[in-house]
Amino acid sequence: MDDALYSDLATKRKKSLTAAYATAAVSLSELAARNNPVTANEIIAAFNLDLRKILDGESPAQIAAGILALEGQLDQLRPLAAPDQIRQLPVMRDLYARLASPLLRLLAESEHWPDDLGAMESWKAMWKEALRVGVEEELYVWQNHSLEQ
């Protein structure tokens, strides 16, 4: 009976989320280096892990480089997945679509930015934030996807 209590739902979700993270012990590059068949769940868990690492990037260039590296790693892993699971794998087109709106909005606003070098650091911070928003949205989608499995 206690398992059905409404107040326990948050605790159960945290446990599920923790369990999903625990399966992501390796990154996409580590999975690819093994050169063994992989499941969609393994790729999704590693993808989530790598997205969280990308969010730790200290500059827009580091975040962008991490995103581009993800694309190559997913391309390496796709042939190692079972043919019936390929449609379940993340595709970079979705991440790029999530990045488009915040980046385009920021670019449109940049028309009104000052041209002095003192503003450069705040510009970098705004670009980093725009990239972070898109990556976090993608991470949210795939974390929820791995919990549904």
In the numeric block, which tokens belong to residue 59? Answer: 């500059």
Tally helices (H) and strands (E) across the chain: 6, 0
Handedness of CA 26, 28, 12, 87 (dihedral sign): negative
| Total-model pTM | 0.76
Q: Give the three-state DSSP class for 38.
A: strand
Quick: pLDDT tens for 28-82: 999 999 989 999 999 999 999 999 999 999 999 999 999 999 999 999 999 999 9
